Chains A and B, each alone.
Chain A
Amino acid sequence: EIVMTQSPATLSVSPGERATLSCRASQSISSNLAWYQQKPGQAPRLLIFGASTRATDIPARFSGSGSGTEFTLTISSLQSEDFAVYYCQQYSDWPPITFGHGTRLDIK
């Protein structure tokens, strides 16, 4: 099973600033990585797939990068609606599909 590790667990950033979230895979997953955003009481929303491709209707301020074992989600200028929990997920070698434990993005 591929283990996904996200860091930091919590990130405090001011609105308008840049946020950088990290995700590491326990073995190479090529570019088979997705990022999701989840707000309280809601289902997760797909942001990025293929490590860097934005999903439908996702704003350009969200960008993904990386390949192999190291990945990054960058939010270029934080809006109030961006404060949420973010999960990375690998789909390179499944089942099982595996997720990181999440990064909570808080308002500073």
Chain B
Amino acid sequence: QEKLLQSGGGVVQPGRSLRLSCAASGFHFSSYTVHWLRQAPGKGLEWVAVISYDGDKKNLADSVKGRFTVSRDNAKNNLYLEMNSLRPEDTAVYYCTRDSITSSGYYEYWGQGTLVLVSS
């Protein structure tokens, strides 16, 4: 059974850093492109980052470019989002998601979500 289990998150002051993790199980993690999305309180969904199956290709939303880094460890079946210089507008529930087998860009599997609250 395919699963994505997220950890990390919490309350952090503006300007500080945080790392989110996403542990995959039940499927061949190293074959899939994976993404991070986020959802601010009461708002819609925003795509944040993508990393290819082998980690060679990465892309970030303009709103986080230069501050966030996406990475993966296929040996450990883990996905990461390193968030630096956090701002109040980064406050959101963050989701890791698995792309389709063809890396089309839609998501059948989601993590449970983890809340990041940026506040002094």
* Cβ contact within 8 Å between A46 and B59: no
Q: How many A-B residue pairs have CB under 8 A?
A: 53
* Cβ contact within 8 Å between A91 and B44: no
Taking a contact as CB atoms closer than 8 A, the residue among B46, B95, B106 that contacts A46 in the complex is B106
Q: Is A99 an interface residue (CB 8 A)?
A: yes
Q: Which residues of A contact B107 (CB under 8 A)?
A: 34, 36, 44, 46
Q: How large is the interface on B (under 10, 10 to 19, 20 to 34, 35 or more residues)?
A: 20 to 34
The total of chain A residues at the interface (CB under 8 A) is 22
Q: Is the interface of A mostly helix, strand, loop or mixed?
A: loop
Query: 23 interchain pairs (CB within 8 A)?
Result: A32-B104, A32-B105, A36-B45, A36-B107, A43-B110, A43-B111, A44-B45, A44-B95, A49-B106, A87-B45, A89-B106, A91-B106, A94-B105, A95-B50, A95-B61, A96-B47, A96-B61, A97-B105, A99-B44, A99-B45, A99-B47, A100-B44, A101-B44
Residues of A whose CB lies within 8 Å of any CB of B are: 32, 34, 36, 43-46, 49, 55-56, 87, 89, 91, 94-102
Please name the 4 residue pairs, one residue from A and one from B, whose CB atoms are nearest each other, closest first: A91-B105, A43-B110, A34-B106, A97-B47
